[in-house]
A and B are shown apart, each in its own frame.
Chain A
Amino acid sequence: MKRWRAASLTAAAALALVLSGCGGTGGGADGGSGGGKGELLVWVDNTRMPAAQQYKKAHPDLKMRIVTIPPDAGYVPTKISLANRTKSGWPDVVFLANPAEAATLASEKFGYAAPLDDLVPKSVRDGFTPGSLDTCTFGGKTYCLRNDIAPTVLWYDATLMKRYGYQVPKTWAEYQRTGLKAAEEHPGTIVGAVNGKYGAGIYFGSSGCATRDTLSLTEVHIDLGQANCTRVADLLQPLAREKAVTTVVPIDPGFAKFGKGDQILMLPAPAWFGDFMFGPAFKVPKGRIAAAPMPTWSGESKPYAGQVGGGAFLVSAHAGERTKEAADLVRWMTTDVTLQAEQPTYPAFTAAAKKWGEAKSKDPYYAADPMPALTAAASALRPGFGAVRFEADWQSSFNDTLVKAIDSGGNLRSALGSWQDKLEAAAKTSGYTVG
């Protein structure tokens, strides 16, 4: 009996210890963000750190703590999910390197993102590039401000174009013809990359194919049977057969072989590829790369851009009395022209983008000033491409269907049907009704 009593006492004590750890709030008295210490808690990635420190320096009266977070996809929702569990430790301001996560953080389940409509004046919000805040807007409410955007343009090697005697295509039909010609005349040459978000966001995004059109936080429109989806499959099918488009993801170190081998004739890709991929990763020498607007789809007069990348700032719904300070920081970080003009990627705030472009225009790396094409692309973001909670599945299901079909010489139109099924399942599992 004694032994049992001792054993049960030990077990009860251990259980109490564990349960107290599990159930405790572990935070301050208000249980709110900032660790309950009355300080403005800011989470930013390494790149945004100097700007946040600059703000702190300019506001000596503000008690502020800046924490560096990795830019990895999924990191912020993971941490917020744990903070929700313990009901403390939420950051008042957070930077999202993956703006699609705004859909997760604004959802009812997370309840983290605060609507900014009353916190940031409409005049300020109107200063952002048209369409850039679409990824932050759900059911008419704006939950984040974009720091930078990643409109896609048609990057091309001006030297190769001249050497081969080709013209930069203005329509997708011309793009296809040029691609096939290049593959025949100069085997190994590529005119595009189709993999994950680099395929889905660039080709399907610019075509306006409804792969992830958010109607609200709980409704999404997916319809891959429409002509603006099938035309992408028809565009890519012969290019894939002749290997004019590759399924190697451009951020794979293995992609550099195309650059080193003078094999990248064209590459529809986001704006940031100009500075961060062609030179540093693909090793294309300076004076060769130029940007043109995305080709125009048949029946349309405007060259629409897709999107791959960009970041956003969010304010916590748990910020309480610090909400105003948090919103002010976010507004400054995203709209200060001097600050934004020096940031590495295309600013979402129009006035800042103009200033940012002045330096870009003079960059000797480019064969020609890329800014006209980049500016045109920024103002031609295809509407409907929203932030969804199934972003990761959106990418992997694209690879499971379309990329697999390309690799195995399958039919891309039929693969669209499988992608539709997978997207619908992913959306429903994430709590969306599919319209």
Chain B
Amino acid sequence: MKTLTTPRPSAVAAPVPVTPRRRRRPARSAAVWILVGPYTVFLVVFGLAPAGYALWTSFVDKGSFTGGRDWTTVFEDYRLADAAANVATYLLLWLPILLLTVLSLAFTLHARPGRTTSALQLIYYLPGAVTGSAAALLWLFMVSPDSSPFSPLLKLMDIQSATEALSGGSVIAVLTVMGVAVHAGGWIVVLYGALNALPKDVLEAAQVDGASAWRTMWHVKLPMVRTYVAFVLISSFASGSQVFVEPTVLSTGAPGQISPTWSVNQLAYTYATQDGDFGKAAALSLAMLAVGVLAAWIVITRTRMYATDSSDSR
């Protein structure tokens, strides 16, 4: 970075003519507020204020200070370790598979443009069009050999009923497949869009230099879309670590197979709704928020997500 040593203006120096800049400032400032304002209000109303209220709830009960009681009770809860292990296993399985699927399909689409590309894009996106509880219900049918279109495959895996498909460790496998199917499509569209926006001359230069499709992907395209990949990672980590709807809905199809406190989020929900203990629910939710923020910070710093092109080029 270049640094210029400018002479310090003397006290008697004539004031710098700044009038034209001052004239622009109110308009620019208004534009900034219009653009950032709604987000700031949403952040405060639905992000910071609830988090602050949760912090208050985790320390104050019926007007009296409870100290760290709720926090210690939560961390001593025998269900937390199981729930955290379930979520961690799910993330370890789901995140790499999702990322690999999204990257490979988006790069393949981009490397071989043609008439089929848009059709394929739609096909990839379709499973992701059904999300949330509807997706979980759909998958409940998918894992029930009597109603599933994949029943021969299920039978091949010796799964005779939804009970078997959703009991024990198989829940994680089902959730992983379901998670990839539900989320991959949307991310493929995002990443494909990012790839399409890459400067053509750079890609042509790589081609002229004799770079293979693989080298172009690995050394040219991937570094240029790394911020998008980081975004996929952060968002997916957040949604994966807060997995709630999927195990909740799947458990309605085969009651008793999936614990109501299977995931950490479900445990927090159980505190609030089944135990009537909002203090513990708030403490656990904040702990999860801390994990999410920490993970996001690691990804952002490691991938230099917010580094601008100009700072990159220095």
Contacting pair B168 A404 (CB below 8 A):
yes
**Whole-angstrom distance between the Cβ of A242 and the nearest chain B Cβ:** 17
List residues of B (264-304) whose CB comes within 8 Å of A's CBs.
272-278
B29 within 8 A of A: yes
**Whole-angstrom distance between the Cβ of A396 and the nearest chain B Cβ:** 4
User: Which residue of B is nearest A110, CB measured?
Assistant: B276
- Bound form: Cα–Cα A311–B52 in Å: 40
Question: Which residues of B are found within 8 Å of A74, using beta-carbon distances?
Answer: 260, 273-274
B41 within 8 A of A: yes
Per-position 1/0 for B250-267, Cβ under 8 A of A: 001011111111000000
Question: Which residues of B are found within 8 Å of A22, using beta-carbon distances?
Answer: 53
List residues of B (45-78) whose CB comes within 8 Å of A's CBs.
45, 48-50, 52-53, 77-78
- Bound form: Cα–Cα A254–B272 in Å: 34
Known: A74-B260, A396-B256. A19 touches B164 (CB 8 A): no
Query: Which of A18, A251, A253, A257 lies in contact with B255, CB distance below 8 A?
Result: A251
B191 within 8 A of A: no
Contacting pair B274 A257 (CB below 8 A):
no
Per-position 1/0 for B139-154, Cβ under 8 A of A: 0000011110000000
Contacting pair B161 A78 (CB below 8 A):
no
- Bound form: Cα–Cα A74–B255 in Å: 12
Per-position 1/0 for A393-435, Cβ under 8 A of B: 1011011100110010000000000000000010001100000
A85 within 8 A of B: yes
Per-position 1/0 for A74-96, Cβ under 8 A of B: 10011011101100000000000
Contacting pair A254 B163 (CB below 8 A):
yes
Give the interface residue-count category, chain B: 35 or more
Question: Which residues of B are found within 8 Å of A104, using beta-carbon distances?
Answer: 274, 276
A392 within 8 A of B: yes
User: Which residue of A is nearest B53, CB measured?
Assistant: A22
Binds B, one of A7-15, A204-212, A290-298, A340-348: A7-15
A118 within 8 A of B: no
Chain A interface, DSSP helix/strand/loop, else mixed: helix
Known: A78-B273, A78-B274, A195-B256. A399 touches B167 (CB 8 A): yes
Contacting pair A254 B162 (CB below 8 A):
yes
- Bound form: Cα–Cα A247–B163 in Å: 8
A249 within 8 A of B: yes
Contacting pair A252 B163 (CB below 8 A):
yes
User: Which residue of A is nearest B44, CB measured?
Assistant: A14
Contacting pair B256 A3 (CB below 8 A):
no
Contacting pair B45 A254 (CB below 8 A):
no
**Whole-angstrom distance between the Cβ of B117 and the nearest chain A Cβ:** 40
- Bound form: Cα–Cα A102–B36 in Å: 49
- Bound form: Cα–Cα A399–B262 in Å: 13
B104 within 8 A of A: no
**Whole-angstrom distance between the Cβ of A390 and the nearest chain B Cβ:** 9
B86 within 8 A of A: no
A55 within 8 A of B: no
B40 within 8 A of A: yes
Contacting pair B77 A429 (CB below 8 A):
yes
**Whole-angstrom distance between the Cβ of A402 and the nearest chain B Cβ:** 12
Known: A18-B49, A404-B168, A425-B78. A109 touches B259 (CB 8 A): no
Question: Which residues of B are found within 8 Å of A3, using beta-carbon distances?
Answer: 29
- Bound form: Cα–Cα A78–B146 in Å: 33
Question: Which residues of A are found within 8 Å of B221, using beta-carbon distances?
Answer: none
User: Which residue of B is nearest A15, CB measured?
Assistant: B49
User: Which residue of A is nearest B36, CB measured?
Assistant: A7
**Whole-angstrom distance between the Cβ of B144 and the nearest chain A Cβ:** 6
B160 within 8 A of A: yes
- Bound form: Cα–Cα A19–B53 in Å: 8
Question: Which residues of B are found within 8 Å of A247, using beta-carbon distances?
Answer: 163, 167
Contacting pair B163 A249 (CB below 8 A):
yes
A337 within 8 A of B: no
Question: Which residues of A are found within 8 Å of B162, using beta-carbon distances?
Answer: 252-254
- Bound form: Cα–Cα A7–B39 in Å: 12
Query: Which of B33, B77, B161, B260 lies in contact with A396, CB distance below 8 A?
Result: B260
- Bound form: Cα–Cα A429–B81 in Å: 14
Contacting pair A256 B256 (CB below 8 A):
no
**Whole-angstrom distance between the Cβ of B251 and the nearest chain A Cβ:** 9
Q: Could you list 27 A-B pairs, sorted by A, with CB under 8 Å?
A: A6-B33, A10-B41, A14-B45, A18-B45, A18-B50, A73-B255, A74-B260, A82-B273, A196-B255, A197-B256, A248-B164, A249-B255, A249-B256, A251-B255, A252-B162, A252-B254, A253-B147, A254-B144, A254-B162, A389-B274, A392-B259, A393-B259, A393-B260, A396-B257, A396-B260, A429-B77, A430-B275
CB-based closest 3 A-B pairs: A254-B161, A196-B256, A78-B273
**Other contacts beyond A18-B53, A393-B260: 7, CB < 8 A:** A18-B50, A104-B274, A109-B276, A254-B146, A254-B160, A392-B260, A396-B256
B contact set with A: CB distance below 8 Å: 29, 33, 37, 40-41, 44-45, 48-50, 52-53, 77-79, 144-147, 160-164, 167-168, 252, 254-261, 272-278
